[in-house]
Amino acid sequence: MNCKVCHLTTVHNIDDVRIFVKECTSLAANGFDVTLIACGDTAFEDIKNGVKRISLFVPVKNRLHRMIKRTKTIYRRALQVHADIYHLHDPELLPVGRKLKKMGKKVVYDSHEDTAVLIKSRQWIPIIIRYFLSPIYAYYETRIVRELDAIISVTPSIVEKFKKININTYQVTNFPMVEATTFNKQKIERKNICFAGNITPGYMLENVIDALSKTVGIKFILAGEPMSNHYLNTLKSRDGWNRVEYLGRISHDAVNELYSQSLIGIACLGYLANVGYKEGTLGVLKLFEFMNAGMAVICTDSILWKKIVDKENCGLCVNPYEIDEIANAIQYLVDNPKIAIEMGVNGKKAIYREYNWESQEKILIELYKIISN
């Protein structure tokens, strides 16, 4: 197959899991000639997993400067690739998509989030401007995406929104790549709960730590880079911090080792705009990451997550704002480790059967075959 594909992103790094590890690598493995152009701290070109990667060093002063300068730079470099299909990953690249369409190129837009909704919650935009900007952006987005060859998104509500604009809309969810996991008897002996990832207020970690103070015999192992020292100090000031073992940022292998020794993974996302409010999203990987590791999960009772957790009997769902509810769920699973182990096994089986990248790869490849003809 000689079809040349070029993925473009001004926001995500060259090693992004969804863009590079999953989408680009899958396309290359299925015979497409794939190039990925992104921005980073250094400029380089290499070939990895069969993908030609071009990292551009484009220093910027602020978000607006990034949107303008990086977009122009990536567009100029993208033209040199002479691809048949261009795959865009950021809203600021939509005008690039329009230009490429006018040149006769095929264009795919990968909408990771509902940008029109998110604008209303962006703290860096003055609040008065947000509510004027959101409908303006929605109108602008609609005009462009209806001209494109395909739209991809990660979660049902965004897919349905785009289908009303462009019938060639597909759901390619951010499910994990299946990994072999080793059962460790310390899961039962240590009775740990854990979280590894970006330490941000979105995961309601203050409430999780407060819930720990209402439990008995539990250790919470927390790993990851905090969004700021101020936020980390806020967590350290909570009553339950004496139950926390904080590891800081750790390697991927260390995360896997942590998961192998932990009974429960906890992901209490707040009902926020970027995760679909109470509906939730399938674009956040944390639930599936814990299932893939064979851990029982305690997670937000969003509509989408609760449907999966209840169907697969792989954990417990809680209101992330109810501290007593979180505490009760933690205590129940720690006091009943055999039930927790069974839930972990159920979650792992579900990942193998359904919630895996291989299932989404098929959708991606089929869509590319359709538009490349």
pLDDT at position 182 over 70: no
Confirm whether 291 is domain-assigned. yes
pLDDT of residue 50: 97
Count of domains in the chain?
A: 2
10 by Cβ neighbours in 10 Å (0-12 / 13-18 / 19+) ranks as: buried
60 and 165 part of one domain: yes
The answer, yes or no, to whether residue 274 has pLDDT greater than 60, is yes
In the DSSP assignment, the letter for residue 283 is S
Mean pLDDT of 179-194: 65
Cβ neighbours of residue 35 closer than 8 Å, sequence gap 6 or more: 4, 5, 6, 7, 51, 52, 53, 54, 81, 83
* Token output for 5: 């594909």
186 and 194 Cβ atoms separated by less than 8 Å: no
As a whole number, mean pLDDT of residues 185-195 equals 72
More confident position, 190 or 310: 310
Strand 192-196 with 219-223, pairing: parallel
Residue 359: in which H helix or E strand, if any?
helix 357-372
Same domain, 115 and 9: yes
- In a shared domain, residues 300 and 316: yes
Report the alpha-carbon distance of residue 345 to residue 289 in Å, rounded.
Answer: 13
Q: Are 278 and 321 in contact (CB under 8 A)?
A: no
Q: Which residue has the tokens 């122009």?
A: 72
Q: Do 349 and 368 fall within a single domain? A: no
Summarize the confidence of residues 101-108 as an average pLDDT. Answer: 96
The tens digit of pLDDT for each residue in 115-153 reads 888 888 777 788 888 888 888 989 999 999 999 999 999
Residues 61 and 137 in one domain: yes
Residue 223's domain spans which residues?
Answer: 186-353
* DSSP designation for 19: I
**Is residue 225 in a domain?**
yes
Whether 40 maps to a domain, the answer reads: yes
Burial code (b: 16+ CB inside 10 Å, e: under 16) for 291-319 equals: bbbbbbbbbbbbebbbebbeebebbbbbb
Q: What's the confidence (pLDDT) of residue 181?
A: 57
| 218, 266: one domain | yes
Same domain for 223 and 148, yes or no, is no
180 pLDDT band (50/70/90 cuts)? low
DSSP annotation of 231 reads H
> Residue 88 pLDDT > 60, yes or no?
yes
Determine, yes or no, domain membership for 181: no
Q: How confident is the model at residue 2 (pLDDT cuts 50, 70, 90)?
A: confident
Q: Predicted confidence band at 306 (pLDDT cuts at 50, 70, 90)?
A: very high
Average per-residue pLDDT for the chain: 92
10 and 82 assigned to the same domain = yes
Q: Are residues 339 and 282 in the same domain?
A: yes
**What are 22-80's pLDDT values in tens digits?**
999 999 999 999 999 999 899 999 999 999 999 999 887 777 777 788 999 999 999 99
Residue 30 forms part of a structural domain: yes
Q: What is the CATH number of the domain that holds 164?
A: 3.40.50.2000
Give me 225's structure tokens: 């880079």
Contact in structure between 220 and 208 (CB atoms under 8 Å): yes
pLDDT exceeds 70 at position 21:
yes
pLDDT digits (tens, 9 = 90+) for 224-236: 999 999 999 999 9
Same domain for 368 and 349? no
160 and 211 in one domain?
Answer: no
C-alpha to C-alpha distances, 371 to 26, 174, 216, 350, nearest whole angstrom:
17, 22, 57, 31
Among the residue ranges 107-111, 154-158, 162-166, the one predicted with the least confidence is 154-158
- Asked if residue 326 belongs to a domain, the reply is yes
Position 114 in a domain: yes
Per-residue pLDDT at 124: 76
**150 shares a domain with 258:** no
